[in-house]
A and B are shown apart, each in its own frame.
Chain A
Amino acid sequence: MKSTIVVEINNVSKSFRQLKALKQVSFAVEEGELFGVIGPDGAGKTTLFRLINTLLIPDEGTLSVLGYDTVNEYKQIRPLLGYMPGKFSLYQDLTVEENLQFFASVFGTSVASNYELIKPIYHQLEPFKNRLSGALSGGMKQKLALSCALIHKPKLLLLDEPTTGVDAVSRKEFWDMLKMLKQEGISIIVSTPYMDEANLCDRVALIQKGSILQIDTPTSVVNGFTKPLLGVKASNTYQLLKALKSFPGSDSVHPFGEYVHYTEKDGEPDPKVLQDYLEQQGLQNVQIKLMDPAIEDRFMDLMHTAEEV
Chain B
Amino acid sequence: MPEYAIQTENLTRKFGDFIAVDHISFEVQKGEIFGFLGANGAGKTTAMKMLTGLLTPTSGKALVTGRDVYTEAEFIKKQIGYMSQKFSLYDDLTPRENIRFYGGIYGISEEYLSQKIDEVLEGTGLKDQGDKLVQALPLGWKQKLAFSIAILHNPKIVFLDEPTGGVDPVTRRAFWEQIYEVAEQGITVFVTTHYMDEAEYCDRLSIMVDGRMDAIGSPEDLKHEFSASSVEEIFIKLARSAKRGDG
Does a CB–CB distance below 8 Å link A and B in the complex?
Answer: yes
Select which of B40, B198, B235, B246 is within 8 A of A166 by beta carbon: B40
Instruction: Name the contact of B165 in the complex, choosing from A136, A165, A241 (C-beta under 8 A).
Output: A165
Known A139-B40, A167-B194; judge A40-B165 contact (CB<8 A): no
Q: A254 at interface (Cβ–Cβ under 8 A)?
A: yes
B167 at the interface (CB under 8 A from A): yes
Which of A77-85, A124-132, A175-183 lies at the interface?
A: A124-132
Among B162, B168, B180, the residue within 8 A (CB) of A43 is: B168
Task: Establish whether residues A40 and B201, one from each chain, have CB atoms under 8 Å apart when the complex forms.
Answer: no
Q: Residue A195 contacts which of B169, B230, B239 (CB distance < 8 angstroms)?
A: B169
Q: Is B200 an interface residue (CB 8 A)?
A: yes
Count of interface residues, chain B, beta-carbon cutoff 8 Å? 40
Complex: chain A residue closest to B183, CB-CB: A238
Instruction: Confirm or deny: A208 has a beta carbon within 8 angstroms of a beta carbon on chain B.
Output: yes
B interface with A by C-beta (< 8 Å)? 38-41, 138-139, 162, 165-171, 173, 176-177, 180-181, 183-184, 194, 196-201, 219, 230-232, 235-236, 239-240, 244-247
Which of B171, B200, B235 touches A168 (beta carbons < 8 Å)? B235
Tell me if A241 and B169 are in contact (CB < 8 A): no
CB distance from B6 to the nearest CB of A (A): 21
The total of chain A residues at the interface (CB under 8 A) is 39
User: A42-B138, A137-B41, A137-B245 in contact; A169/B239 too (CB < 8 A)?
Assistant: yes
Total residue contacts A-B, CB cutoff 8 A? 106
Least distance between A169 CB and chain B CB atoms (Å): 4
Given A127-B246, A193-B168: 14 more A-B contacts, CB < 8 Å:
A42-B138, A128-B247, A165-B40, A167-B194, A241-B180, A254-B170, A255-B173, A255-B176, A255-B201, A257-B230, A257-B231, A299-B169, A303-B169, A304-B170
1/0 per residue, CB under 8 A from B, across A246-276: the answer is 0000000011111000000000000000000
CB pair B168 A41 closer than 8 Å: yes
A170 within 8 A of B: yes
Please indicate the chain A residues that have their CB under 8 angstroms from the CB of B165 in the complex: 164-165
Interface residues of A (CB under 8 A from B): 39-43, 124-125, 127-128, 131, 136-140, 164-170, 172, 193, 195, 208, 237-238, 241, 254-258, 296, 299-300, 303-304
Q: Which residue of A lies closest to B165 (CB)?
A: A165
Closest to A163 in B: B194
Contact B40 A172 (CB under 8 A): no
Between-chain CB contacts (< 8 Å), 18 pairs: A41-B139, A41-B168, A42-B138, A43-B168, A128-B246, A137-B41, A139-B39, A139-B245, A164-B165, A167-B38, A168-B232, A168-B239, A169-B236, A170-B39, A241-B180, A255-B173, A255-B177, A258-B230
A258: B residues at CB distance < 8 A: 200, 219, 230
Write the nearest CB–CB distance from B233 to chain A, whole angstroms: 10
Q: Given A166-B40, A167-B40, A241-B177, are A41 and B167 also a contact pair (CB < 8 Å)?
A: yes
Q: How far is the CA of A137 from the CA of B244 in the complex (A)?
A: 9
Point out the residues of chain A lying under 8 angstroms from B173, CB to CB.
254-255
Q: How far in angstroms is the closest Cβ of chain A from B128?
A: 16
Contact B247 A131 (CB under 8 A): yes
B residues in contact with A169, CB < 8 Å = 39, 235-236, 239-240, 245
Known: A40-B171, A43-B168. A137 touches B247 (CB 8 A): yes
A42 cross-chain contacts in B, Cβ below 8 A = 138-139
In whole Å, how far is B136's beta carbon from the nearest beta carbon of chain A?
Answer: 9
Whether A138 contacts B40 by the Cβ 8 Å rule is yes
B200 and A138 form a contact (CB under 8 A): no
